[in-house]
Structure 1
Amino acid sequence: MPERAPIRTAVPVALLAAGLLLTGCGTAATGDPAAPPATAPATASATGEPSKSPDTAVGAAPAAGSLGGAGTACALPVSFSLAKDWRPKAVRDPENPEFAELTRQGPATVRCEVDAKPAGNIGFLRVWTAPKGAARATLEGFVKAEKGSTGAVYKETKAGALPAVEVVYSVHSELLDETKEERAFAVESAKGTVIVHLGGLDSEEHKEMRPAYELARTSLKPL
């Protein structure tokens, strides 16, 4: 892996290992879409702020496991493949109102988080679910609920064989006092809308984790 900037060594280890505390779940979201169909135009967020175009050249990581199906770490309405050394864990008691600040973001509730630290990165791939509804509207509500989110750009795409909506946007990290990139995609399932979100400590970590996100997106299947 390329050498990290010195700022990373100053981040408290306990905080980096704190799972949901890393992105402030319930008040944060992520997303930058992968390659959409060439005919699908991007639409900017209501803020009217500029946002960089998503990098369409990133390929998917090789599959080394799966998530969502019977016998996996998290019971989900969908399944998808996991990259090597990414470790999934179900979120405990996500419906508990006492934890709503960490487990809710707009219309969605977090169900599972896949930790990238064993693979050498600081960040998580998280799966959220919401009641049945249009994927675009649900994803917009998710992004708007994140404090400091700006420049969101949405695109129609595919997640496996399913129609999906992706978003890429920026959010200001108070921890590092810098703006970082995040992305997510949403699909409609028989059990509600599913959002898969990729954050990261900063934009560099986010970029390095993109292949694992692309693997999840391209391998997704309904259950």
Structure 2
Amino acid sequence: MTGAGLLVAGLTACGPSEPEQATAAGGAQDPKPAATSGASAGAAGSAKAAGSVGGDGTPCRLPVSFDLAEGWKPKAVTHAEDDQFAALFKQGGTTLACEIDAKPAGIIGFLRVWAADEPAAPGDARMVLEAFMAGEKVKGAPVYTDVQAGTGNSALPVVQASYETAPLDEPKKESAFAAVTPGGKAAVIQLGGLDSGEHEQMLPAFRLAQQSLKSAD
């Protein structure tokens, strides 16, 4: 980004706090798109894979790669040189690297990928996630669960956090999981939405990311 005005507009659209309320610079909030059936139609369903993100040749080069739900659009996050704004892209030892927008699939929300700033041991996924969660404004206590993500030789040990925030005094469900690659690179994948209902609709895409997760080292 080349100027403060553009930077602030960019932060509104892709910054770590409440992106679902993003607006075009100077504009009003976009109306909520009509929900669609299919890939992200409900928590009980499954998401249809349509491409991937994280590896070479994808919009975001990340420590891990995973499949994208149909209609979800990834975009690399551009960081400011100014320390005043750069801090908005940092949380708990990670840096925001990629946002995957659900709006083209008819849902207001994002998958965010945060890359760890320092190497980690393969067994440190929980530590990475707990450090990240320290930067979240959690209502109550997060519920941590050990998950085996990916398949076969590419499977990675993962720790997931399920929690609630209350940005407007209205509890809102959110989820995140952390993984560490064999090469010691760690990432946190976070799912947020406009409200708990949107969150439930996006869970199939979140599970798809877990199930297809592999190292991009």
TM-score by length of 1: 0.72
Structure 2 match to 1:201:
194
> What is the number of equivalent residue pairs in this alignment?
175
More contact order relative to length (CA 8 Å, sep ≥ 6): 1
Q: CA deviation at 1:62?
A: 1.1
Q: Find 1:211's aligned residue among 174, 181, 204.
A: 204
Q: 1:158 to 1:97 in 2, by over 3 A?
A: farther
Q: 1:18 aligns with which of 3, 13, 22?
A: 13
* C-alpha separation in 1, matches of 2:81 and 2:184: 16
Equivalent runs, 1:1-223 vs 2, <5 Å: 18-20=13-15, 23=18, 58-93=44-79, 97-130=83-116, 131-133=118-120, 134-160=124-150, 161-174=155-168, 177-189=169-181, 190-223=183-216
8 Å CA contact 2:16–2:89 kept in 1: the answer is: no
Q: Which amino acid is the alignment partner of residue 171 of structure 2?
A: T
After superposition, the Cα gap between the structure-2 partners of 1:144 and 1:58, relative to the gap in structure 1 and judged at 3 Å, is farther
1:60, CA displacement in angstroms? 3.5
| 8 Å Cα contact 1:77-1:191 kept in structure 2 | no
Counterparts in 2 of 1:153 and 1:212: CA distance versus 1, 3 Å: same
SS at 1:64's partner residue? strand
Structure 1: any 5+ residue segments left out of the alignment?
1-13, 25-56
Checking the alignment, whether the CA contact within 8 Å between 1:59 and 1:214 is kept in structure 2 is no
Q: Distance in 1 between matches of 2:82 and 2:156?
A: 31
Q: C-alpha displacement at 1:100, in angstroms?
A: 3.1
Kindly state the Cα deviation for residue 101 of structure 1 after the two structures are TM-superposed.
3.6
Letter of the structure 1 residue corresponding to residue 159 of structure 2: V
1:78 CA drift (Å): 1.2
> How far off its partner does 1:96 sit?
5.4
Instruction: Tell me which stretches of 4 or more aligned residues in structure 1 moved more than 6 Å.
Output: none
Tell me how large the CA RMSD over aligned residues is. 2.2
